[in-house]
């Protein structure tokens, strides 16, 4: 039997009472619950609607319930986001993208050779890169929530991209605290700054590329 709008609203509010954070998870649970409750009511005319809802939850989601499913989906999404991020970063170290990577690396290393104080130049450029990355994050923010739910794909993409910030912080910490003790004209120091810049550049490009794909998916699946 088909549920009424009032009954569907009851199920929606029931699910929301369990503090489900993610829209995709909420919609999957809602679809499952509606179909299950309809089947239970069809099979047993004597059971009340409220009891049918409870039965559908127990039969469909077990002891862990809705939150157990949410945690499992979140864990899977984290793994998938990390794998995709790592896979796309590795592509920049295989042909043909490695040509671009080597060009950026050599170009930045030669660029630092043009300055008497490469530390300041590197700090300014890496900070500018991070600000650009932050602007990309802000642009993506409008795709982070819908109907007071987080979008799981967006949330996990931002989680995977957080690697940018520790790399930036490590680099700047070394530049600040090593000012008196590190020879910034030494080739090894310049190589370190070049490696940091190259990895920041690659990570930012990967973030933008994945973000574009994700937006296209969200526009067809959620923001329609």
Residue 51's pLDDT is: 97
159-182 per-position pLDDT tens digit: 666 666 677 677 777 766 666 667
pLDDT value, residue 181: 66
> 15 near 8, Cβ under 8 Å?
no
Residue labelled with tokens 């574009």: 212
Average pLDDT, the chain: 88
Q: What residue ranges do the domains of the chain occupy?
A: 5-63, 77-221
Q: State residue 116's pLDDT score.
A: 83
pLDDT of residue 6: 96
Question: Over its length of 224 residues, how does the chain's per-residue pLDDT go in tens digits?
Answer: 799 999 999 999 999 999 999 999 999 999 999 999 999 999 998 999 999 999 999 999 998 999 999 999 999 998 888 888 889 999 999 999 999 999 999 999 999 999 888 888 888 888 888 888 888 777 787 788 898 899 998 888 776 666 666 776 777 777 666 666 677 778 888 898 899 899 889 988 898 898 888 888 888 888 76
219-to-30, 215, 216, 223 alpha-carbon distances in Å: 21, 6, 5, 5
Distance in angstroms (rounded) separating the CA atoms of residues 70 and 82: 18
- Collapsed DSSP state (helix, strand, coil) of residue 39: helix
Sign of CA dihedral 207, 209, 215, 221: negative
The neighbouring-strand residues paired with 146 are 149
What DSSP state is assigned to residue 47? S
Instruction: Determine the pLDDT at residue 131.
Output: 85
What confidence score (pLDDT) does residue 224 get? 60
The pLDDT, as a whole number, for residue 163 is 62
pLDDT at 222: 85
Distances (CA, A) of 28 to 89, 112, 210: 32, 52, 24
Which secondary-structure segment (H or E) carries 150?
Answer: strand 149-150
């Amino acid at each position: 039997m088909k549920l009424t709008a009032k009954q569907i609203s009851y199920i929606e509010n029931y699910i929301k009472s369990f503090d489900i954070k993610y829209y995709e998870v909420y919609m999957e649970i809602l679809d499952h619950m509606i179909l299950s409750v309809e089947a239970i009511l069809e099979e047993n005319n004597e059971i009340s609607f409220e009891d049918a809802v409870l039965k559908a939850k127990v039969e469909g989601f077990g002891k862990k319930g809705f939150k157990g499913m949410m945690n499992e989906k979140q864990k899977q999404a984290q793994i998938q986001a990390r794998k995709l991020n790592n896979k796309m970063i590795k592509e920049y170290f295989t042909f043909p993208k490695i040509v671009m990577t080597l060009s950026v690396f050599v170009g930045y290393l030669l660029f630092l050779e043009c300055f008497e104080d490469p530390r300041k130049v590197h700090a300014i450029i890496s900070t500018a890169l991070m600000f650009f990355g932050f602007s990309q994050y802000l642009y993506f923010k409008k795709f982070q929530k819908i109907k007071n739910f987080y979008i799981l794909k967006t949330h996990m993409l931002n989680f995977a991209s957080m690697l940018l910030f520790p790399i930036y912080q490590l680099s700047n910490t070394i530049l600040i605290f090593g000012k008196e003790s590190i020879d910034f004209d030494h080739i090894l120091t310049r190589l370190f700054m070049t490696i940091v810049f190259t990895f920041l550049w690659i990570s930012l490009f990967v973030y933008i590329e994945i973000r574009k794909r994700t937006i296209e998916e969200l526009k067809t699946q959620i923001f329609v």
